[in-house]
């Protein structure tokens, strides 16, 4: 294999991102996708210092298909299959791959080179195997499945002696069908759970009875709660697939940065994970605001500060950020008498880690440290890296927006897609870590089903605990009371 194809996909832990650099800016180096010095052309593909940086879509598709003497690097296969959906639907790409295979097969048949034909067929099956394993859900489409059957049928025609190619195809097809069945079952479960999840933020007009449990009545150990949060995070994030993340690029509406055009079912896993962050933030705020006595509210705040710190130590940055966000919501932040009793030194350290200055430079440094720890890890516990999902999505979106998909000569800006693919692959590696902590169903059930106050209910509870202190708060409190009286 030539040096041009010797790309290496980052393993469990690489330094967070070469595009962040020492400045922690989170930005891509200038000139990404531009033809600089040292560029060389091979047909419609352009390489720079041995790395493929651009090419026509047709040339990139041809580069994906094996020949008798060539098999694409696995990194290229993953990157192109992931990024190609921005330009062409998977079933159309599969159809084109089938055409290229047919053309090459016909050339080999006319040359009467049976041995080479068999070797070529085996390579095609290997490519399809890698495709179905990395992106099985591309084959949910009936058109894609039909194209797959057409290609495999052609390939098996030269496999009459010992049937090795047929066996490989049968194994591949069985694995693919199992993956699709698992996906279908998961989707059915999501559909069942979806409605109740949307009702979680219902307005509570009054505080719950004093006898109702709070989080401390279920779990009073910050480390244990942090471990259970990590369990939930890893379970939820494991349902996100590379193609889901590529939706950020391929389905973003140019008229509205924050709204996706994609089918809701395609982005549900992203929305569900984002909703979990919001629910956790609101749960933290609810647990604090619903406490009647100041002494107990102080204890609750200090407990969540300790939980956030344990999340940080584990490498669960998403839960940590959600907890900090919950404590920074206005109904909680305004409780000055309560906060005056809290030992805030630990909280100050946490806020320093999540300081948004310089594009969250402190957080990125901590994430880089966790990533390096994961790379050297001997245990599952040390491998855990759960980034702040919102920031990860923004990084991908930012990378997408500042670099064009095509260069002025019409080539696909493949240098851009190398970087997007690298970051997505690294994220996917983190999601596959097995949670080492024992699952506590009682604690998890509370975290996932405990009543959550709406923003309005949080303010009511907050004002009832500590009355309004200025004109703006007095006006807000008056408006809330009027609203409640009108409802009554």
What is the tens place of the pLDDT at every residue in 424-463? 999 999 999 999 999 999 999 999 999 999 999 999 999 9
**Where does the pLDDT of residue 187 fall: very low under 50, low under 70, confident under 90, or very high at 90 and above?**
low
If you count them, how many residues does the chain have?
488
Residue 239 sits at φ, ψ, to 5 deg, of -85, 0
pLDDT of residue 317 exceeding 60, the answer is yes
DSSP run (H or E) holding 268:
helix 264-289
Q: What does the alpha-carbon distance between residue 481 and residue 485 come to, in Å, rounded to a whole number?
A: 6
pLDDT of residue 223 exceeding 70, the answer is yes
> Position of tokens 């109904």?
331
**Where does the pLDDT of residue 249 fall: very low under 50, low under 70, confident under 90, or very high at 90 and above?**
confident
Mean pLDDT of 103-120: 79
DSSP, collapsed to helix, strand or coil, labels residue 55 as: strand
Tokens found for residue 194 = 């979806």
Q: What does the alpha-carbon distance between residue 461 and residue 454 come to, in Å, rounded to a whole number?
A: 11
| DSSP-derived pairing of the beta strands 412-413 and 51-55 | antiparallel
Q: What does the alpha-carbon distance between residue 168 and residue 151 come to, in Å, rounded to a whole number?
A: 14
Tokens found for residue 94 = 């599969």
Q: What percent of the chain has pLDDT over 90?
A: 60
**Where does the pLDDT of residue 190 fall: very low under 50, low under 70, confident under 90, or very high at 90 and above?**
low
* pLDDT, tens digit, 9 for 90 and up, residues 284-307: 999 999 999 999 999 999 999 999
- The per-residue pLDDT for 112 is 62
| Extended strands (E) in 216-260 | none
Residue 74: Cβ within 10 Å count: 14
Lowest mean per-residue pLDDT among 16-25, 34-43, 151-160, 184-193: 16-25
Q: Are 322 and 280 in contact (CB under 8 A)?
A: yes
| DSSP-derived pairing of the beta strands 39-42 and 412-413 | unpaired
* pLDDT, tens digit, 9 for 90 and up, residues 33-75: 433 334 454 568 999 988 999 999 999 999 999 998 999 999 9
Domain with CATH 1.10.840.10 in the chain: 217-256+265-487
- The per-residue pLDDT for 250 is 66
For residue 320, give every residue at least 6 positions away whose Cβ sits within 8 Å of its Cβ, in sequence order, or none: 308, 311, 312, 350, 353, 354
Q: Are 454 and 201 in contact (CB under 8 A)?
A: yes
DSSP state of 262: S
- The per-residue pLDDT for 191 is 56
- The per-residue pLDDT for 182 is 83
pTM of the model: 0.82
DSSP, collapsed to helix, strand or coil, labels residue 374 as: helix
When comparing pLDDT for 119 and 130, which is higher?
Answer: 130
- The per-residue pLDDT for 263 is 46
**Where does the pLDDT of residue 158 fall: very low under 50, low under 70, confident under 90, or very high at 90 and above?**
low
- The per-residue pLDDT for 367 is 95
Average pLDDT of the residues of the chain: 83
Mean pLDDT of 370-377: 92
Vertex 42 angle, CA 36 and 46, to 5°:
30
Mean pLDDT of 73-99: 94
Q: What does the alpha-carbon distance between residue 354 and residue 350 come to, in Å, rounded to a whole number?
A: 6
> Position of tokens 């594009």?
359
**Where does the pLDDT of residue 164 fall: very low under 50, low under 70, confident under 90, or very high at 90 and above?**
confident
DSSP state of 50: T
* Superfamily classification of domain 217-256+265-487: Ras guanine-nucleotide exchange factors catalytic domain (1.10.840.10)
| DSSP-derived pairing of the beta strands 51-55 and 39-42 | unpaired
**The CATH fold of domain 48-189:** Son of sevenless (SoS) protein; Chain S, domain 1 (1.20.870)
- The per-residue pLDDT for 320 is 97
pLDDT of residue 17 exceeding 70, the answer is no
Domain with CATH 1.20.870.10 in the chain: 48-189
CA 313 to chain centroid, in Å, comes to: 21
- The per-residue pLDDT for 205 is 40
Mean pLDDT of 175-193: 74
Alpha-carbon torsion, ordered 353, 356, 361, 363, to 10 deg: 40
């Amino acid at each position: 294999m030539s040096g041009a194809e010797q790309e290496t996909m980052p393993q469990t832990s690489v330094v967070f991102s070469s595009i962040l650099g020492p400045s922690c800016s989170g930005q891509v180096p200038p000139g990404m996708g531009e033809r600089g010095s040292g560029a060389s052309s091979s047909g419609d593909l352009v390489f720079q210092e041995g790395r493929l940086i651009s090419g026509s879509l047709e040339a990139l598709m041809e580069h994906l298909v094996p020949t008798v003497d060539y098999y694409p690097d696995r990194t290229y296969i993953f990157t192109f299959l992931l990024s190609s959906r921005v330009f062409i639907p998977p079933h159309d790409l599969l159809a084109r791959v089938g055409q290229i295979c047919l053309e090459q097969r016909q050339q080999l048949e006319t040359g009467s080179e049976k041995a080479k034909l068999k070797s070529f067929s085996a390579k095609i099956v290997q490519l399809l195997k890698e495709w179905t394993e990395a992106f099985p859900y591309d084959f949910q489409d009936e058109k894609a499945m039909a194209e797959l059957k057409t290609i495999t049928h052609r390939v098996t025609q030269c496999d009459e002696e010992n049937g090795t190619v047929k066996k490989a195809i049968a194994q591949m097809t069985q694995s693919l069908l199992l993956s699709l069945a698992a996906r279908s079952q998961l989707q059915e479960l999501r559909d069942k759970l979806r409605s109740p999840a949307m009702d979680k933020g219902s307005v509570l007009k009054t505080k719950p009875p004093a006898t109702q449990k709070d989080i401390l009545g279920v779990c009073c150990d910050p480390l244990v709660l942090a471990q259970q949060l990590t369990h939930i995070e890893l379970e939820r994030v494991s349902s996100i697939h590379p193609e889901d993340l590529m939706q950020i690029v391929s389905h973003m509406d140019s008229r509205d940065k924050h709204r996706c055009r994609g089918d809701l079912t395609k982005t549900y896993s992203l929305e569900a994970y984002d909703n979990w962050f919001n629910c956790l933030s609101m749960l933290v705020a609810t647990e604090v605001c619903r406490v009647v006595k100041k002494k107990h509210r102080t204890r609750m705040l200090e407990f969540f500060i300790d939980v956030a710190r344990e999340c940080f130590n584990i490498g669960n940055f998403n839960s940590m950020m959600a907890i900090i966000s919950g404590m920074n919501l206005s109904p909680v932040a305004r409780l000055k008498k309560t906060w005056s009793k809290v030992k805030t030194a630990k909280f100050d350290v946490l806020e320093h880690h999540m300081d948004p200055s310089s594009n969250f430079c402190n957080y990125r440094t901590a994430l880089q440290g966790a990533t390096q720890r994961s790379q050297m890890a001997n245990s599952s516990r040390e491998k855990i890296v759960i980034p702040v999902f919102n920031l990860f999505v923004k990084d991908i979106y930012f990378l997408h927006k500042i670099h064009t998909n095509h260069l002025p000569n019409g080539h696909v800006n493949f240098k851009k897609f190398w970087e997007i693919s690298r970051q997505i692959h690294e994220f996917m590696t983190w999601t596959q870590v097995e949670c080492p902590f024992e699952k506590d169903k009682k604690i998890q059930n509370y975290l996932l089903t405990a009543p959550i106050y709406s923003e309005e209910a949080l303010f009511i509870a907050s004002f009832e605990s500590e009355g309004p202190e200025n004109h703006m708060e007095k006006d807000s409190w008056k408006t809330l009371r009027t609203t409640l009286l009108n409802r009554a």
